[in-house]
A = this chain, B = another copy of it.
Amino acid sequence: MNHDLLLANIAKHIQLDEDEKQRFCAYLQVKKVKKKQHLLLEGGVNRFAMFVVSGCLRSYHLDENGFQYIQQFAPEGWWIGDMYSLITQEPGHLYIDALTDAELLLISKVNLEKLYKEIPKFNFYFRILAERSLVSYQERSMENLRLSAKERYGKFCLRYPTLTDLLSQKQIAAYIGVTPEFLSKMLHA
């Protein structure tokens, strides 16, 4: 079943009885997307937190020169969204799209708020997730200041071991913040 991967993930942090599982799953909706399909555009409001059941998504910024800067990859088992827009329900700056065909579970902001009220231990679950994610972005902020491109490439490989040989160099370059030309040169040097 679609929901098993997510329920297993949740079970690592909080215990849900059958009734709670039912109620939680009732708040979810399944979505299938094709490769390259967009789920969020700059200026849009992100109304859903998205859990990747299969496939791979990414979130990125686009600058005025058309360069992409990838904030996150979301392979199987990861959550993704524009946290800023999701929290505030204001228009955000991120794009989110699918790098492969993918199957998602969505929970709307509205349902998420209901969930927190009805089953407060989800505050605990999402606090743990937010804290871990926070640590990861704190590290990346510092890495992006103090490490060379080659070192950032190394960190990318550690963070996404399953994606290292799956993604194009263009995607990896946009994640570590160099041009594809430079990444190519670097990998051959």
What are 7 A-to-B residue pairs whose CB atoms are below 8 Å?
Answer: A63-B146, A87-B132, A116-B124, A120-B123, A123-B123, A127-B127, A145-B176
Q: Does A135 make an interface contact (CB < 8 A)?
A: yes
CA–CA, A95 and B142, complex, Å = 13
CA–CA, A62 and B126, complex, Å = 31
A residues whose Cβ falls under 8 Å from a Cβ of B: 61, 63, 67, 69, 71, 83-84, 87, 116, 120-121, 123-124, 126-127, 130-135, 137-142, 144-146, 176-177
Other-chain contact of A127, B63, B69, B126 (Cβ < 8 Å): B126
By the criterion CB–CB under 8 Å, are A71 and B146 in contact? no
CA–CA, A140 and B69, complex, Å = 12
CA–CA, A116 and B13, complex, Å = 14
* Contact partners of A132 in chain B: CB under 8 A: 87
CA–CA, A146 and B144, complex, Å = 10
By the criterion CB–CB under 8 Å, are B69 and A138 in contact? no
Other-chain contact of A138, B83, B124, B176 (Cβ < 8 Å): B83
CA–CA, A163 and B124, complex, Å = 34
A132 to chain B: closest residue by CB: B87
A92 to chain B: closest residue by CB: B135
Other-chain contact of A69, B121, B135, B142 (Cβ < 8 Å): B142
* Contact partners of A84 in chain B: CB under 8 A: 135, 138-139
By the criterion CB–CB under 8 Å, are B131 and A87 in contact? yes
* Contact partners of A127 in chain B: CB under 8 A: 123, 126-127, 130
Q: A73: shortest Cβ distance to chain B, in Å?
A: 13
Q: A182: shortest Cβ distance to chain B, in Å?
A: 13
